[in-house]
Structure 1
């Protein structure tokens, strides 16, 4: 089973090694590590791990929480294949068929962002939706810039595409609130897709 773990740990020599050792002792095989931030003496890292057998997010969190000085910010299932470049694949598809740019983007964003679904809204109506996205979605006040909202049981990333009159929404039900590094990456991808789609 592939899991993503978001871990906050002391930013000191050997800190990452201790987490890797603890994960190995628990039977997890680390496939990828992404450093999201290093500030105020702490680091926040995303680990993509392969865990043999079935393990729930709650069980993984419980097992890892025993590490001193380490905080588990989120554990959730992922389909992202470590070492792949899905963002480049997405941009290649959009460059090949720019008229379908936003539909392609919305289909790809859930796997790119470790989320469950995404959609694009224009004038209050859903224009494009990925699998599992709702047919209707109400956005009370569309933001003028990329923001993160922790609403009810969903963590939302709201990405405006002002030139197109669209708002792209990405929703995560499991795992932590979107980190600013994730938001910046997604916003860049949306900007590139918007420029490619504008040429269609």
Structure 2
């Protein structure tokens, strides 16, 4: 599958025109997610997850979208996380069904929720900062594991000059305290938008509340 991040006009019919263009190159749309409304210039940022039949070149997806007036492709990559339209709600449902494990569930679900590659829970509440939980493909933080602590609120992070992290874009949110944080990474991009930071902040707060009430 492939992930397309598009800037499109925020008006009725725009998304349908893009879907039609993708259909003309035999793309099978699995999910469409509105990432952000940019009311100041009348556009929206949308993520579209698509699949292609054998023999169809992936660059036809970009060409199809670029052929739609006023549509801009700002990111294109293979996508294997298997996310969808309602990943936020699915994560919340899983957390509420197992309240004691709510934080762990959020860590596990975070890459799919935010169309990312990995997530890690960093715990600096003890004598040393440690990786308390991580998903597959999480890079080795090495001696720089405590670089972002303390973290007061959800925000994007500066990538470390360290093998496996230098080409990543990062976002994080505190959990329970400013020395226990969830870090999420995308290799190469796209950059995390303000709306995605807000979503992570909400989900992190919700996970902590659900576990506290277990």
TM-score above 0.5: yes
Aligned to 1:134: 139
TM-score (norm 1): 0.81
Aligned partner of 2:44 in structure 1 is: 43
1:89/1:16 Cα in 2 relative to 1: closer, same or farther (>3 Å)?
closer
CA distance in 1, matches of 2:158, 2:116: 13
CA contact 2:91–2:105 (8 Å) conserved in 1: yes
Determine if the alignment matches structure 1 residue 167 to structure 2 residue 181.
Answer: yes
The residue that corresponds to 1:18 in the other structure is 17
1:193 Cα offset (Å) = 0.7
Normalization by structure 2: what TM-score? 0.77
For residues 150-188 of structure 1, the C-alpha deviation after alignment (integer angstroms, 9 at most, x for no partner) is 633111111112537411001111541122222222221
Cα offset, 1:105, TM superposition: 1.7
Rounded Cα–Cα distance in structure 1 between residues aligned with 2:58 and 2:170: 20
Could you report, residue by residue, the CA deviation over 1:54-92 in whole angstroms, capped at 9, with x for unpaired residues?
Answer: 777666435533444221111231433545x44344334
Equivalent position of 1:9 in the other structure: 8
Does 2:202 align with 1:188? yes
Equivalent position of 2:72 in the other structure: 71
User: What are the within-5 Å matches in structure 2 for residues 98-109 of structure 1?
Assistant: 98-109=99-110
Q: 3-state DSSP class of the match of 1:144?
A: coil
1:125 maps to which of 130, 144, 168: 130
For residues 62 and 154 of structure 1, do their structure 2 counterparts lie closer, same or farther at Cα, with a shift above 3 Å needed? farther
Q: Which residue of 2 aligns with 1:80?
A: 82
Q: Structure 1 residue 149 and structure 2 residue 149: aligned? A: no
Instruction: Measure how far apart 1:135 and its partner are.
Output: 4.7
Please state whether the residue corresponding to 1:79 is helix, strand or coil.
coil
Distance 1:90 1:45 in 2: 20
105-114 or 158-167: bigger deviation: 158-167
SS at match of 1:133: coil
Q: Are residues 90 and 21 of structure 1, via their aligned partners in 2, closer, same or farther at CA, if it must alter by over 3 Å?
A: closer
Structure 1, 44-53 or 132-141: larger mean CA deviation? 132-141
Residues paired across the two proteins, number:
198
Deviates more, 1:186-195 or 1:154-163: 154-163
Distance 1:118 1:82, change over 3 A: closer
Cα 1:95–1:80 change in 2 (3 A) is same
Give 5+ residue unaligned stretches, structure 2: 160-165
